[in-house]
């Protein structure tokens, strides 16, 4: 047994008072005159013994009553666990997990509401003068200001669900930091109220602080059905006017029941574009194809949604993109060769592609950045200025296609290849070579052929470049000769791509031009070219937002399409010619946002809530206890009591088993014993 106020034990000296009274009464005597005392001698002796016993019992009752009363004022307790409060100044941090998973239904309603009620119960179990911190997933600077009990209850009642779902280690470290900065001298206690979702929940990763005692209080949700849209993507990367689109939607069923005929809706700019019905089994996922056509240019704000309850934050998926006009393709060709004639015939009067041809001796170098795809057709001369412009063109997202002829000077051509991290040309072989293999998995050919043939009838090539044997880890083979060498390969450079043929495009290789493989190969190179667009972002990850257009003014604003709220932002250089938006704070809600340059809209940004909170996997009390035991940290404990005496459980954890009430009862009992002895003992 321990005492909260041990100095009160000095009051035990008060037992001297009843002892002194007893001794004083014991010395007092009364003279009785009687004629004959012989017959009373025996009676007198018996009465004296009974009187002494009565006085001793009264003295004992008084001593025990005073002792019990003194012990009651010392606030005796029996320590529970390893933590007891032994200072008057206390600061209590209560973290309430307000992530989306806490919106699930428990036995007594939504888990978030239960957690808020428990937080208020914890606060009420502390004496007046205790300071509190109301902590949540937002972890804002305002959480670091200590509150009294009334202010704390008000702030807790205003906590709402949040898309943020920080890891346990982050929650613990920031909560401990908030407690330390609030009051360094006070005794600190931290309560974490959460469903302890398995995603990101690892107690072992938290670095314990010896000045803070932490208690984990888990909440259990009932079985909740959840159907969600996990992700969306397009069949091909480019978004063009008049293009038939295939949008793929991955849908997951995280419940124990199957769903039939669930409608999936696609709206673009608030207009319904496609509807599909799905059937999905329990604990399964499916990919649904949605078809539509881009009929207009400009920004397209897309939303894919389904109906599901009670978890609704993952029922929608937002994405957006910009439909531009025709793609611009340029051919830089050798005037002595007719290779560009085949490209001109292919792209003549095409609805999606504008094709331009220039000779290698008259190149508008300053205009190269206006094209999405550039063909180098049998060129012989590559100046240093052209090399630098082509390198910057690819690095900034352009597509460069190389048809090398037998050059007069390998140095200029190889200088370009080296600047693009490509393999250089060692020599030129005039022999014939047969193309024997196609990479059917690459986007150029993925949707071209109905079936894959290992022994397809592919063309012969007359004259090809032999590249130096260099390690090119990022190089992907698209067409391969029978001798194992690459006839066509590709690799990324910067944000663009380089396609390298091993042979020239000329009349000598007319077999390739007239073969069925020529059209999809060259056409898809242009179709998939151009600066890539980012269709969607997450509200949780800080991914850079890169502007796709140059700014004409210094005023940049971000506008929420739904609420019309707007805020100003700034930009900074990203790479050589690009700008990055500086978002001081991530959007807190999913939806579409527009980037305005002055009074004109130049770009869209779409945000989605992370799907980590959708997974209904939670740590049980046994699993939590196992993790706590593995840390060997006695300052983190699990609260398992959820009965009606919850406040008493909190008091016991902090102040031990309180005994002062029992000593008050004993003091009253001994006083009653004294009264009974005095009144009834005649």
Given a cut of 90, whether residue 536 has pLDDT beyond it is yes
Given a cut of 80, whether residue 293 has pLDDT beyond it is yes
Is the overall model pTM greater than 0.85, yes or no? no
Same domain membership, residue 516 and residue 547: no
* Percent of the chain with pLDDT strictly greater than 90: 33
pLDDT category of residue 15 using cuts at 50, 70 and 90: confident
Domain boundary among 499, 527, 555: 527
Split into its structural domains, the chain has a count of 5
Whether 85 is covered by a domain: the verdict is no
pLDDT category of residue 616 using cuts at 50, 70 and 90: confident
Q: Do residues 322 and 532 touch, judged by C-beta distance below 8 A? A: no
pLDDT, tens digit (0-9, with 9 covering 90-100), for 105-151: 888 888 999 999 999 988 988 888 889 999 998 766 556 688 999 99
pLDDT for residue 25: 65
pLDDT category of residue 471 using cuts at 50, 70 and 90: low
Domain boundary among 268, 301, 324: 324
Same domain membership, residue 470 and residue 551: no
Same domain membership, residue 67 and residue 121: no
Whether 192 is covered by a domain: the verdict is yes
Same domain membership, residue 469 and residue 600: no
Same domain membership, residue 169 and residue 75: no
pLDDT category of residue 272 using cuts at 50, 70 and 90: very high
Whether 367 is covered by a domain: the verdict is yes
Same domain membership, residue 215 and residue 140: yes
Q: Do residues 670 and 61 touch, judged by C-beta distance below 8 A? A: yes
Whether 293 is covered by a domain: the verdict is yes
The number of residues making up the chain comes to 682
pLDDT for residue 80: 54
Place of tokens 């611009």: 328
DSSP class of 540 = S
- Determine which of 57-66, 255-264, 412-421 has the lowest per-residue pLDDT on average: 57-66
Same domain membership, residue 211 and residue 141: yes
Whether 84 is covered by a domain: the verdict is no
Same domain membership, residue 604 and residue 627: no
Rounded average pLDDT over 419-434: 90
Whether 101 is covered by a domain: the verdict is yes
Domain boundary among 298, 324, 350: 324
Same domain membership, residue 272 and residue 307: yes
Given a cut of 70, whether residue 83 has pLDDT beyond it is no
The DSSP code sequence of 26-71 is HH-------S--TTTHHHHHHHHHHHHHHHHHHHHHHHHHHHHHHH
Given a cut of 70, whether residue 576 has pLDDT beyond it is no
- Determine which of 29-33, 334-338, 437-441, 619-623 has the lowest per-residue pLDDT on average: 29-33
Supply the range of the domain harboring residue 47. 2-79+660-680
Helix (H, G, I), strand (E, B) or coil at 553: coil
Query: Domain containing 603 — which CATH number?
Result: 2.60.40.10
d(CA 628, CA 77): 26
Same domain membership, residue 518 and residue 372: yes
User: Cβ neighbours of residue 359 under 8 Å, at least 6 residues apart?
Assistant: 332, 333, 334, 335
Whether 532 is covered by a domain: the verdict is no
CA dihedral 313, 316, 317, 323 (to 10 degrees): -140
Whether 16 is covered by a domain: the verdict is yes
Same domain membership, residue 361 and residue 307: no
Q: Do residues 559 and 593 touch, judged by C-beta distance below 8 A? A: yes
Same domain membership, residue 449 and residue 368: yes
Pairing of strands 556-560, 636-638: unpaired
Helix (H, G, I), strand (E, B) or coil at 661: helix
Please list the helix, strand and coil fractions of the chain in percent, rounded to the nearest 5, in that order. 30, 30, 40
Select from 538, 592, 544 the least CA-distant residue to 565: 592
């Amino acid at each position: 047994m321990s005492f909260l106020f041990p100095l009160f034990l000095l009051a035990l000296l008060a037992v001297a008072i009843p002892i002194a009274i007893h001794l004083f009464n014991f010395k007092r005597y009364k003279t009785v005159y009687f004629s004959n005392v012989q017959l009373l001698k025996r009676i007198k002796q018996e009465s004296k013994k009974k009187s002494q016993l009565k006085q001793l019992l009264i003295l004992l009752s008084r001593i025990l009553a005073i002792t019990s009363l003194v012990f009651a004022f010392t606030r005796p307790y029996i320590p529970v666990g390893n933590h007891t409060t032994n200072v008057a100044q206390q600061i209590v941090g209560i973290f309430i997990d307000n992530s989306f998973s806490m919106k699930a239904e428990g036995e007594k309603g939504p888990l978030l509401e239960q957690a808020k009620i428990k937080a208020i119960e914890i606060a009420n179990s502390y004496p007046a003068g205790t300071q509190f911190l109301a902590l949540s997933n937002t972890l804002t600077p305002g959480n670091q200001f200590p509150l009294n009990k009334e202010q704390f209850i008000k702030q807790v009642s205003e906590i709402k669900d949040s898309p943020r779902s920080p890891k346990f280690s982050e929650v613990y470290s920031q909560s401990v930091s908030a407690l330390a900065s609030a009051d360094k001298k006070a005794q600190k206690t931290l309560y974490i109220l959460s469903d302890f979702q398995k995603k990101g929940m690892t107690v072992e990763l938290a670095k314990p602080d010896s000045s803070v005692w932490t208690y984990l209080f888990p909440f259990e949700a009932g079985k909740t059905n959840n159907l969600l849209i996990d992700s969306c993507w397009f069949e091909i990367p480019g978004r063009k006017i008049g293009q038939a689109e295939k949008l793929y939607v991955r849908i997951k069923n995280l419940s124990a029941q199957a769903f039939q005929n669930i409608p999936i809706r696609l709206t673009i700019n608030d207009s319904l574009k496609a509807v599909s019905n799905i059937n999905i089994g329990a604990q399964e996922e499916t990919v649904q194809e949605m078809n539509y056509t881009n009929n207009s240019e400009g920004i397209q704000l897309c939303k894919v949604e389904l109906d599901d309850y009670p978890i609704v934050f993952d029922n929608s998926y937002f994405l957006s993109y910009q439909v531009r006009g025709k793609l611009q393709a340029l051919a830089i060709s050798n005037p002595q060769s007719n290779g560009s004639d085949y490209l001109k015939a292919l792209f003549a009067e095409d609805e999606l592609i504008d094709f331009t041809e220039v000779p290698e001796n008259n190149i508008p170098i300053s205009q190269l950045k206006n094209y999405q795809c550039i063909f180098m057709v049998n060129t012989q001369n590559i100046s240093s200025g052209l090399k630098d412009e082509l390198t910057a063109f690819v690095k900034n997202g352009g597509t460069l296609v190389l048809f090398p002829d037998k050059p007069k000077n390998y140095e200029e051509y190889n200088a370009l290849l080296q600047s693009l991290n490509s393999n250089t040309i060692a020599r030129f072989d005039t022999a014939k070579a047969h193309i024997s293999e196609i990479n059917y998995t690459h986007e150029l050919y993925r949707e071209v052929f109905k079936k894959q043939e290992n022994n397809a009838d592919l063309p012969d090539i007359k004259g090809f470049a032999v590249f130096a044997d260099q390690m090119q880890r990022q190089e992907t083979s698209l067409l391969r000769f029978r001798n194992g060498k690459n006839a066509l390969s590709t690799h990324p450079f910067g944000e663009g791509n380089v396609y390298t043929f091993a042979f020239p495009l000329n009349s000598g290789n007319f077999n390739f031009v007239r073969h069925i493989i020529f059209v999809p190969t060259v056409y898809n190179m242009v179709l998939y070219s151009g600066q890539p667009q980012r269709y969607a972002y997450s509200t949780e990850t800080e991914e850079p937002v890169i502007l796709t257009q140059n700014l004409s003014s210094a005023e940049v604003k971000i506008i929420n399409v739904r609420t019309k709220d707007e805020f100003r932002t700034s930009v900074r250089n990203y790479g050589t010619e690009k700008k990055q938006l500086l978002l001081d704070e991530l959007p807190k809600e999913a939806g579409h946002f527009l980037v305005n340059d002055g009074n004109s809209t130049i770009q869209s940004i779409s945000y989605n809530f992370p799907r980590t909170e959708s997974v209904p996997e939670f740590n049980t009390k046994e699993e939590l206890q196992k993790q706590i035991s593995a840390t060997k940290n006695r300052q983190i404990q699990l609260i398992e009591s959820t009965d009606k005496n919850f406040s008493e459980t909190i008091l016991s954890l902090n102040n031990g088993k309180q005994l002062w009430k029992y000593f008050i009862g004993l003091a009253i009992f001994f006083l009653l014993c004294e009264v009974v002895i005095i009144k009834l003992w005649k």
